[in-house]
Every structure is written in C-alpha cells, then in structure tokens.
Amino acid sequence: MLLTHLTFSFPLLHLPHALSSDPTTEVTPDFVSSTLLRPALFTRAIYCGESNVTKWDCEPCRALGPDVQVIKWGGDIVAHDNSTNTIVVAHRGTNTKNLLSILTDLEIKHVDLDKSIFKHPSGVTVHAGFQDTFKHTSSIILAEVKKALIEYQSHSVLITGHSQGAAIATLGAVMLHEQLDSSIKKSVVVFGLPRMGNEHWANYVDSTIGSDFHRVTDRKDPVVDLPPHLLNFFHPSGEIHIEAVDENGQATKVAACPGQENKHCSAGNSIFHDELINHRGSRIQELLVFVHK
C-alpha cells in the first residue's frame, strides 16, 4: 500500500540536515524482550477498548499476565505492573488518516512549551496540536502517577504510546522527568512517533530523558518521517528500527540507530515509497517477537 495517493503541497520532503551517518548496530532478542516487549503489549492493550481493558481481558492483556491493576482509564491507561513494581502510563493513537492530514498541512503551527508545565529552555517549540491534546490530561496523569508511586511503593515509571499517543507520551515523559524525584526510574518506549518539535526540542528530549528514551520505527512507516524538516521538525535520538519481518509479521532484523536522524534508518526513507501499513498499531507486539537466527 504505497502512499502515492497522497497529495503534498510542498516540493521537498527533506532539506539538507546533519543526518547521522554512524553505522547501526543489531539489536539482540534479549534487549527486545527485556526493554521493548512489555511497553509494546501495554500500548497494544489500549486498542482493545475500555470494557476489555478494565476487565483486563484481551490478547495483549493475557500476554502481560494477570498481575496488572488498571488504576485509570480515559482512552489512556495508568496501571500498576506488579511483576516489575512499575507504574505504567500508556497513550493511545488516533485515526491515521486524520493524523496524516495534520502532519502534511503547511499551516502546522509551532508553539512554545507551556511554561506552567515545563521547565523549558528558550527556543524550544512543539507541534501546537500535540501540546493542546497533552494539556487536556497532563495534570491528571501527573497526579495519578504521584499517587500510585506512593500507594504501591514503586520507584519506577514506564511511559509508552503509539502514533499521536507516542507524541503525547513523549511530552508526558519530559514532564515526569522534571516533576518527579530523580530517584524514580523513568523509562520511555514509544512506537511510530511523528516528528513533533524543532531542533531545540529534539536536543531537549535528549538532555532530559537521555538513554532511557527509545522510539521504535517500523520499516517504511510514513508517519515517523512527518512533518518534514522543511517545516522545522526534528526527531530526538533513541531510534530502534525494525528493518525486516518474516511472513508471520515477526521481526527478524532490528537495529539501534545512533544520532537524532540516522540516514541508515527511517530518516533515509522516501515518503513516496513508504507504506502506511507499517504504521498500524494492531500488531505492535507481533513485530517485536524477535526471531533470532
């Protein structure tokens, strides 16, 4: 399913930028299972719907095991994962067609980070729509996480999400890094993250979250390559790129991509040859059941 049916109003989708040319390294199955798989399952669980999630009765729920307590459902999940004594915040994506329309609009507006939420340095701007959506639940999420950390005597938070939910999760992760005590471990794993801020934003995520941030991209997913650089949008570091899958949809080759925009990974894709099916959230965990050869 090629994206040749989409009409873009701008002539170029990449401007010359300091794309990383550092060689990638192959990711091991152990890293996938220990770091990426549970976040993928939590992200997938959101798509099961409120009834199934609150009863914890769906395929990814069963894969995660019965030892998960849903604390809050509101389209997003706040939960306690007793197996790791971790508070989990998972954000759902939105309709892909609507998201693509937003991401390819020349009227995309950059706004400053909200000073009432973030302790941001000057010059940092983000996608106005993503921040507006985030602000609807940011105070609720922060309060629920703080409460849950005390109630469950936990010292660990996992933040995850897919598509637009990945953008909301990234904003939330920066907020939680700034608002929670440094003794609390914060892990961030997002899937299909679109570009969401200027180069200062990418640097801000790198300096705030650092090596605890992982953004998983799937082969020729067009969403992760939008909005384009020419609209002053850039990715932070931490890309984990699924390069190949088998006939069952299970990942057979996964690479860690150094730098903010590595030309050997999703930044090297051409939007005219991308495949929208690579963005779907319905089979995230299957893509990460990494087959070791």
Please say if 211 is a catalytic residue.
Answer: no
Work out the angle at residue 20's Cα, subtended by the Cα atoms of residues 230 and 235, and round it to the nearest 5 degrees. 50
Tokens of 63: 């894969």
Please say if 76 is a catalytic residue.
Answer: no
Distance of CA 141 to the CA centre of its chain: 17
Q: Specify burial of residue 238 (Cβ count, 10 A radius: 0-12, 13-18, 19+).
A: buried
Tokens of 224: 């992760």
Q: What is the DSSP string of 52-102?
A: HHHTT-SHHHHHH-S-EEEEEESSSEEEEETTTTEEEEEE----HHHHHHH
Distance CA 183, CA 220 (A): 38
Catalytic residue among 20, 154, 163, 187: 163
Contact 164, 145 (CB under 8 A): no
Distance of CA 114 to the CA centre of its chain: 20
> Strand, coil or helix: what is 4?
helix
Catalytic residue among 76, 221, 225, 274: 221
User: Which residues are part of the catalytic machinery?
Assistant: 163, 221
